[in-house]
Amino acid sequence: MLMDTTELRSILYVDDEPDIRQIVQLALGLTAGLTVHTGESGEQALALARELQPDLLLLDVMMPGLDGPGTLQRLRADSAIAHIPVIFMTAKAMAREIALFRKMGAVGVIAKPFDPMQLGKQVLSLWKDHAAELLTHG
Amino acid sequence: MGERDKDSLRPLVAELGAKFLERTRGEAVVLRELLERAHLGGPTVMDQLEHLAHRIHGTGATFGFAAVSECGAEIERLVEGLKARDVSADAAIEPQCLQRLMQCTQRLAQEVEAAAAR
């Protein structure tokens, strides 16, 4: 998978819940200095990813219609956006689910509910781990 | 992340939390209305109940309203249980379960008021 390992600048966050979209946008913007775009469905995630080419896609797992895993599958099948790393956000973040999501190709999983004050740190940490992994294994 | 960043985020989170409580106050009424129709059964009502309860559960916890979130979680669990037994497809909810759901909804409304008063 190709990725710009230098710096994380822009994120596309997709969740069907408007309150959570707002809080994530504020948290990542204010505490991590990121440009955060948002979408409300898996279908919109794919369209916005093509248009915006974000550094990272942060995806809610449980969404009506096309859910997080389904969106990831479609993303990987589209050569224009297949390279974008994905982090899942889910209330079901037990070890078994995390392993399954990683196997699907997610670079990380963030448990819900999350602490808005800590979210930026969590995202940056997963990004750093993924960049290091790419440097080690290519 | 500096403390100043956190300080600027806190009031914004609190403002969004207040809006969430206001909306959830209305949704507690919607839940009760759905339950009043739920004795007829039907997948649409079940899906609506589950969707609302899931939202209250997840978003409430993110804003730090633990008791409100727990009420949503309880309703979500009960509805998931009913759906797993496929009650919604062809039968009405049994009175005992309906009563439990009504109690949870009533408690939700109380917890919303308690959280808003803090």
Asked whether residue A5 is assigned to any structural domain, the reply reads no
Domains in chain B: how many in total?
Answer: 1
CATH number of the domain that residue A28 is part of: 3.40.50.2300
Residue A104: inside a domain: yes
| Interface residue B40 vs chain A (CB under 8 A) | no
Mean pLDDT of chain B: 87
A83-128 pLDDT tens trace? 999 999 998 888 999 999 999 999 999 999 999 999 999 999 999 9
Residues of A in contact with B63 (CB under 8 A): 19, 23
Residue B10 belongs to what domain range? 3-117
**Interface with A, mutate which of B7, B21, B59, B68 (most A CBs under 10 A):** B59
Using the structure block, give the residue that is written with the tokens 């806190």.
B10
Specify the residue for token string 């037994």. Answer: B85
Instruction: State the alpha helices, DSSP H only, in chain A.
Output: 18-32, 42-52, 68-76, 95-104, 116-137
Residue B91 pLDDT level (bands cut at 50, 70, 90): low
Lowest mean pLDDT among B6-15, B62-71, B88-97: B88-97
Query: Would A1 be classed as within a structural domain?
Result: no
Asked if A20 and B62 come within 8 Å (Cβ–Cβ), the reply is yes
Domain of residue A65 covers 10-137
Q: Do A114 and B62 touch (CB under 8 A)?
A: yes
Task: Say if A3 falls within a structural domain.
Answer: no
Distances (CA, A) of B92 to A73, A89, B32, B33, B75: 38, 35, 16, 16, 17
In a domain, A17, yes or no: yes
Residues of B in contact with A17 (CB under 8 A): 55, 58-59
Which of A8, A15, A17, A19 best tests the B interface by mutation, with the highest count of B CBs <10 A?
A19
pLDDT at B88 over 60: no
ipTM of the complex: 0.76
A4 domain-assigned: no
Within a domain: A18? yes
pLDDT score of A138: 65
Q: Do B61 and A112 touch (CB under 8 A)?
A: yes
Q: From the CB of residue B68, how many other CB atoms can be counted at a distance below 10 Å?
A: 28
Q: Is residue B111 pLDDT above 70, yes or no? A: yes
